[in-house]
Amino acid sequence: MQKNLFIGFKASRAIPIHNTLTRDLLIQSTLDGDVRRIEYQNSVIMDERIVSAYGIIVERFDGRYAVDIVDARPANDPSSEALVQLAFARKCHGVIELRSADIRTEPHCSAAREVWSHRTVRMHPDDRAEILETLEREGPVGLGQLIGSVATRGDARALIFALASEGAVELDLRGGITYDLIVRPGHTVFAAGLRANGA
């Protein structure tokens, strides 16, 4: 059976998706301007044995952290111990425990899903240039203002969301998608050979 894989411009490799909580976390982390890189490791050495570990590591402005999605763990799952060992081995600053309520916070969760749903939108090079040059010229602006100030072949809102999904622009989605949502130039660093077209 083929696993669903998440591929995004911040991911160092394709990451298996076991559930919707993990998918939402990966989408939110990819669109979060404070997250620089997402890594994945599926095993760790403990007591001279190779132990399975679903190891998602996020590198943020304030350090590297292993992520423990508590509500996604099976009951009596020993993997939390493996995750602590993984965090130590990968020189993380610690382990962040997240619950379903943390990841599914609204309007952030729905906004991130909406933006990510535009990741495969096809874009004419002139539209890309129009949006990015406008941002470079005017600096960070509200979503509504940016849409009103660009002339594009495609739907400007969809194009801006597609650019966010590849890291060319950044959006702070914690307050949801509003007219005043600030759009700023991004800091795209593509992982080798991977496109932002993940599950």
> What is the share, in percent, of the chain residues with pLDDT greater than 90?
70
Which sequence spans correspond to the domains of the chain?
Answer: 4-103, 108-185
Task: pLDDT band for 196, please (50, 70, 90 cuts).
Answer: very low
Burial class (CB in 10 A: 0-12, 13-18, 19+), 132: middle
Assigned CATH class of 4-103: alpha beta
Task: pLDDT band for 27, please (50, 70, 90 cuts).
Answer: very high
Query: How confident is the model at residue 49, as a pLDDT?
Result: 79
Q: Are 39 and 57 in contact (CB under 8 A)?
A: yes
The average pLDDT across 76-102 equals: 83
- Asked if pLDDT for residue 44 goes beyond 70, the answer is yes
How high does pLDDT run on average in the chain?
88
Task: pLDDT band for 86, please (50, 70, 90 cuts).
Answer: confident
DSSP assignment letter at 11 = B
Q: Are strands 141-142 and 94-98 parallel, antiparallel or unpaired?
A: unpaired
Task: pLDDT band for 55, please (50, 70, 90 cuts).
Answer: confident
- List all residues 6 or more positions away from 183 whose beta carbon is below 8 Å from its beta carbon: 135, 140, 141, 142, 143, 146, 160, 164, 169, 170, 171
The average pLDDT across 104-118 equals: 98
